[in-house]
Amino acid sequence: MMFLLILFTSAFLFPSSNALDFCVGDLGAPQDPAGYSCKKAEAVTVKDFVFSGLSVAGNTSNVMKAAVTPAFSTQFPGINGLGVSLARLDLAVGGRTAMHTHPEGTEVLTIIQGTLCAGFISSTNKVYLTSLHEGDVMAFPQGLMHFQINVGKSPALAFASFSSTSPVIYFMDYAWFANDLPTQILQKTTFLDPDQIQRLKELLGGTN
Ligand SMILES: *[C@@H]1O[C@H](CO)[C@@H](O)[C@H](O)[C@H]1NC(C)=O
C-alpha cells in the first residue's frame, strides 16, 4: 500500500517525460495542416518563446499603403500547436487592408494609434461597419471578409491576435486580379467591365 502511494505521489511530482507542454515548431521539417513537428525538447530554450519582429514598423510604400507583419508559427515557432498567433498592422495615411479573410482563425484587433474605418460582412451579406480609435478592440469572426482603412490624419498602428497559429491571409483583390485568371472569365463572374479588370490587373500585377 505504502509502495503504491509513493509510486502515485512521484507520478505527480515527476510528470512522465512524454508530457507535452509545448511543441516548438521544427522549421526544418515540412508544415502540414496540424502545424510543424516538434523540435527536440532538449534543444528548446526560452528564446523559442520570444519574438521581437513586431517591434519594427512594416514598410507601407506599396499600393495598399499598408504592411502586415505576421508572428505566425513560421516566424514564431514557439506558438506552434498552441492555437494562437499575432500580427502587426501598419497603415500609412489613407492606407488599407483590402478585403480579405482568415480561413483558419478568428481575429481580434487592438488599435494602438490612429483612427480606422473597419468592418466585416457576414455569410448572409450583412455589413458590420464601424470606426475604431486608440484602445478599441474589434473581433472579426473566422472566415468572414473584412477590411480596415486608416481614415485619420496620421499613421495607424494595430496588433491583431488570431485563434490559430496559421490563420492565413487571403486577399480577395489579389485572388481576382494578381494572377493570370482570364479577363473574360472575370467579366462573366464579377459583372465588371473588361477595362476595369485590366486596370485592376495592372495595379495588382495580374496578366491575361
Ligand atoms: C520600402 O519599400 C519600397 C518599395 O518596395 C522600397 O523602395 C524602399 O526602399 C523600402 N524602404 C525601406 C526603409 O526598406
Residue 96 makes CB contacts below 8 A (sequence gap 6+) with: 64, 65, 66, 147, 148, 149, 150
Q: pLDDT value at position 114?
A: 98
> Whole-number mean pLDDT of the chain?
92
Distance 60 CA to ligand 1 centre (A): 8
Q: pLDDT value at position 18?
A: 54
Q: For the residues 48-65, what does the mean pLDDT come to? A: 97
Cα–Cα nearest to 166, from 83, 98, 107: 83
- Of 56, 60, 61, best ligand 1 pocket probe by most atoms within 8 Å of the beta carbon: 61
Contact between 64 and 96 under an 8 Å Cβ cutoff? The reply is yes
Is the distance from the beta carbon of residue 56 to the nearest atom of ligand 1 less than 6 Å? no
Distance 184 CA to ligand 1 centre (A): 35
Statement: residue 15 has pLDDT above 70: no
Dump pLDDT digits (tens) for 158-207: 999 999 999 999 999 999 999 999 999 999 999 999 999 999 999 999 99
Distance CA 59, CA 128 (A): 29
Is the distance from the beta carbon of residue 52 to the nearest atom of ligand 1 less than 6 Å? no
Q: pLDDT value at position 173?
A: 96
Q: Which fold has domain 63-169?
A: Jelly Rolls (2.60.120)
Bigger pLDDT: 11 or 116?
116
- Of 56, 59, 62, 63, best ligand 1 pocket probe by most atoms within 8 Å of the beta carbon: 59
Q: pLDDT value at position 52?
A: 97
Is the distance from the beta carbon of residue 59 to the nearest atom of ligand 1 less than 6 Å? yes
Kindly state the DSSP code that residue 37 receives in the 8-state scheme: P
CA distances from 77 to 71, 92, 192, 203 (A): 9, 29, 42, 34
Q: pLDDT value at position 127?
A: 98
Statement: residue 11 has pLDDT above 70: no
Q: pLDDT value at position 69?
A: 97
| Residue 172 phi, psi (nearest 5) | -65, -45
Statement: residue 87 has pLDDT above 60: yes
Statement: residue 2 has pLDDT above 80: no
CA distances from 81 to 108, 165, 166 (A): 19, 7, 10
Q: pLDDT value at position 131?
A: 98
Residue 117 makes CB contacts below 8 A (sequence gap 6+) with: 129, 130, 131, 132, 148, 149, 151
For ligand 1, atom 7: residue with the closest CA? 61
For ligand 1, atom 2: residue with the closest CA? 61
Bigger pLDDT: 46 or 3?
46
Distance CA 184, CA 190 (A): 10
Is the distance from the beta carbon of residue 57 to the nearest atom of ligand 1 less than 6 Å? no
CA distances from 102 to 78, 171, 178 (A): 21, 9, 18
Dump pLDDT digits (tens) for 119-151: 999 999 999 999 999 999 999 999 999 999 999
3 state SS of 194:
helix
Q: For the residues 102-119, what does the mean pLDDT come to? A: 98
Q: Closest ligand 1 atom, CA of 62?
A: 4
For ligand 1, atom 8: residue with the closest CA? 61
Q: Which residues pair with 170 in a beta bridge?
A: 101
Contact between 178 and 170 under an 8 Å Cβ cutoff? The reply is no
Bigger pLDDT: 163 or 3?
163
The cell for 185 is: 472569365
**Per-domain residue ranges for the chain?**
63-169, 178-208
